[in-house]
Amino acid sequence: MKIGVIGCGNMGTALIAGLVLQDPRIEIAIFESSSERRADIAARFGAIDCGTDPALLCMNSEVVVLAVKPADIAAVCPKFLLNNKICTLGSSFVHSLRRSHVLSEDPSS
């Protein structure tokens, strides 16, 4: 399975570590604004570094996990431009990903 993770902070990194521990065959693609954090996660877990390219993340993912703080979701989601339209929060965001399933983890709960 190919899983894309948006946000590689504490929550995203913990999710990646758990997924890789559970099944080392899982392919992880990451979308993270910090180049240092991307390099660290890519090296530690063999993740595909998609930089800040949402199209590359979606092309390398069957499932996309949002692992950002609720206050940051609005800043991250408008960056996802697919099929010549900007994906927004809610069902239109999920439907715009088309072949990807989207999971949202609220780290504040």
Taking only the tens place, the pLDDT of each residue in 39-54 is 999 999 999 999 887 7
The CA-based dihedral angle spanning residues 73, 74, 75, 77, taken in that order and rounded to the nearest 10 degrees: 80
pLDDT value of residue 18? 92
Instruction: Tell me the C-alpha distance between 77 and 19, whole Å.
Output: 23
Question: Directed axis angle between helix 35-45 and helix 10-22, to 10°?
Answer: 10
C-beta of residue 109 within 8 angstroms of C-beta of residue 82: no
pLDDT digits (tens, 9 = 90+) for 57-89: 888 888 888 888 877 776 776 555 444 343 433
